[in-house]
Amino acid sequence: MSNTKCRISNKGFFAGKTVLVMGLGRFGGGVDIAKFAANAGAKVVITDLASADELSDSINQLEEFPEIDYHLGSHVAADFEQADIVIANPAVATDNEFLKIAAQNNKFITSAINIFFELCPAPIIGITGANGKSTTAALTTHILRSAKQITNYQLPITNYEKVWLSGNIGNEPLLALLGEIGLDDLVVLELSSFQAERLAQIKKAPKVAVLTNLTPNHLDRHGTFTNYCAAKENIFKLQQLNESDPAVSIFNAEDKVGTEWFEKYKKDTGRICIKFSVDDVSEEIRGRFALPGRANLSNLAAAIAVARCFGVEDNTIKKCLPEFKPLPHRLELVAEIDGVCWYNDSNATTPESAISAMEAFRQPKIIIAGGYDKNLSFDELGRQIARKAKAAILIGQTADKIASAIEKCSKNQTQIKFADSLTEAVELAADLAEASDVVLLSPGCASYDMFDNFQHRGREFTKLVREISGQL
């Protein structure tokens, strides 16, 4: 939808222009964009459907820019008609009516991820997928950074300086890094389907592209699985590669469409494509890797495949793995209480990720599941809960749907309980749990019906569990 004939060549592109930031967000999703545009000399206007009170935390982060104008509580057509540049938050759909108004008035429409791809001087490793992309991005960064220290900056294929981690993982503001990234650095970006969807506007793609897996997700936004796949596909179809390039496109052969995609790209585009598998991870390396479950082994396999592109050898990988710590809210052990292990897997926002979490443990499992309805099917999750869990405690909008899917299984012996809150769910789990059980918060759903985001849900679960254990 943006005017691709007008390209961003440097930060000065924004100087003197009116930049409309569409979507500040309660958790600062637009703060990085607003700061970048203001520092670039633009007149910044922020528009958001939420009120000033709801956005107070984000607004407070912009106190150093008193010249920013806030148009809150609604979007107004005039803002989109008068701005020179519109920067849309990833949560804003590309067919949004106000973006259409901007396009009809020949305004330049872009996004934070597009700006980054236009201006980043270093090669980008883009990691996307339905599940596992955060852990894969963090693992990739850890291995590449550690390799520089272990090998004293002498790698057999490709040398690089610093390795940066950003994107959808949210640990570092994306655009704030641009002034620090050098030509000889590497950038690892976790990319959501929303961000990948935007890349088609600028015909840019990562130097190295990783697809962890593909299963239905965000159908409330994309409408169909085909549309969701098409958004992810952007990180591959725009790549400029050749056979002598050490960078590669990496596909996971274990997802539902990966093999088909691999053959398509290898045949139709001449891409260099590598399929990765947990079978590629040696027993010696597995023995040094602490994260549980086959899904995490798949994440590790992808990270190893990328590291090998840059000359990192398996012996180096083996040395650095014990130092890797699991990310918060991803099969995170919160406490062991009277022989019961409590795990926070709040980041499991799809049925497939909840299934993977259950598969990580052999012990009897009590799963806390349910949440915001993204129009996904729970049939397989119900079957797997019936097979693998001793009890399911269901919360949120999707509780009835998940219960129905469990009850359809003829051999179902899983206890089903309903809870009106996470507090009640934790209390029920504590009553049901026995020594050697695992209590697993792995909702299989987004959190927006009851919580601000999956981090909020995970923090609340952690707090409740630690209260039980007496740690608070």
CATH number, span 11-110: 3.40.50.720
Local structure of 199: helix, strand or coil: helix
- Structure token pair of residue 79: 């803002």
The pLDDT of residue 171: 63
pTM of the model: 0.85
Chain segment 47-72, per-residue pLDDT in tens: 999 999 999 999 999 999 999 999 99
Output the CA torsion 45→49→53→54 (10° steps): -120
Query: 């922020």: which residue's tokens?
Result: 46
Topology of domain 332-469 in CATH is: Protein-Tyrosine Phosphatase; Chain A (3.90.190)
The pLDDT of residue 35: 96
What is the widest separation between alpha-carbon atoms in the chain? 68
For the chain, give the mean pLDDT. 88
Query: What average pLDDT does the segment 91-102 reach?
Result: 93
Reported confidence tier of residue 418, pLDDT bands at 50, 70, 90: very high
Task: Please enumerate in sequence order all residues whose Cβ is within 8 A of that of 89, keeping only pairs 6 or more positions apart, or say none.
Answer: 21, 22, 23, 24, 25, 29, 30, 33, 111
Expressed in angstroms, the distance from the first to the final Cα of the chain is: 51
Residue ranges per domain, the chain?
11-110, 115-323, 332-469
Whether 436 has a pLDDT exceeding 70, the answer reads yes
Chain segment 31-51, per-residue pLDDT in tens: 999 999 999 999 999 999 999
CATH 2.102.10.10 is held by the domain 115-323: no
Cβ count within 10 A of residue 150: 16
Cα atoms found within 13 Å of the Cα of residue 380, Cβ hemisphere only: 13
The pLDDT of residue 2: 45
Strands annotated E in 62-178: 69-72, 85-88, 108-110, 124-128, 163-167
Distance of CA 417 to the CA centre of its chain: 30
